[in-house]
Structure 1
Amino acid sequence: MDKFVRVEGIVSKSVEKLLISSLGKWPIYSNSLILFFNYSDFDIPMGVKFLYLVDNESRKVMYPIQGELVQITQSFLKPFDEIPHGHKTICEIKLDDPSLRLLQSKLPVINAWGGVRKMFLLATGKEINEDGEQGSDCL
């Protein structure tokens, strides 16, 4: 089954400074974004490739992207080797230039989880059904 994460927004510079002071080098890559992810419906391992930006409400693919999960932590600033099912996380996603610019144009910069009106999904497959599972024509 293909997987997805709900993106709330891009971490603010103040949150990024906290990550650096607590965990060291965040971000690792200059062509990446550090994102707040909402509760995950899946265990998602480090290195997974995200291929689509999907509208959370309609579950329709909006844009293809090229992203790779390269760092994961959470509110207690503990490094993880995967996004655990049922957890909110802060993750670094390495992106190609068009995907980086696209996400910067679509996502708000925020200081914490919550209060975001519109969420997007980063998905490994093309379609996500209303029950959260991927459709049959996924990659």
Structure 2
Amino acid sequence: MIVVDDIAMRVLGARLATVVRPGDVIALKGGLGAGKTTLARGLLSALGLEEDAPSPSFALVQPYDVPLVRLPVAHVDLYRLEDDADVQELGLDDYLTDSLLMIEWPERLGARLWDHSLVLSIEVTPDGSRRLTALVPDAWRDRWPPQ
């Protein structure tokens, strides 16, 4: 899938918001500036967040709860983490009970990424658009791509 610009990336996030459920994991892969946070902002906005969501790169985990959003979301950025102990301290499993877990830089989880995760890899193309590749698990088969 080709995403032509930031507006289209936000629209994709908004379309994802129509199909997400508690317990879902969306793993966002891509280099710096690929559009991971832009997609997350589109999703959060479509879930009702009125302000622009900050990048969670310093907070690591940015939770959003009802009534700010219609579904609890934990927006996670693992870019600055370097070892397994740091990841374990975040307690990400706890969010799977009732929240959507959206993870930037999921590579830092290694083999611990949940099997039911929708993995979206974003690559910047020479013309500045984004090539998005999806690894779609069974839990997402009837929801991807979102309409």
Which TM-score band (shorter chain)?
A: under 0.3
Q: TM-score, normalised by structure 1?
A: 0.26
Which has the larger helix fraction?
2
Q: TM-score, normalised by structure 2?
A: 0.26
Question: More strand by proportion, 1 or 2?
Answer: 1
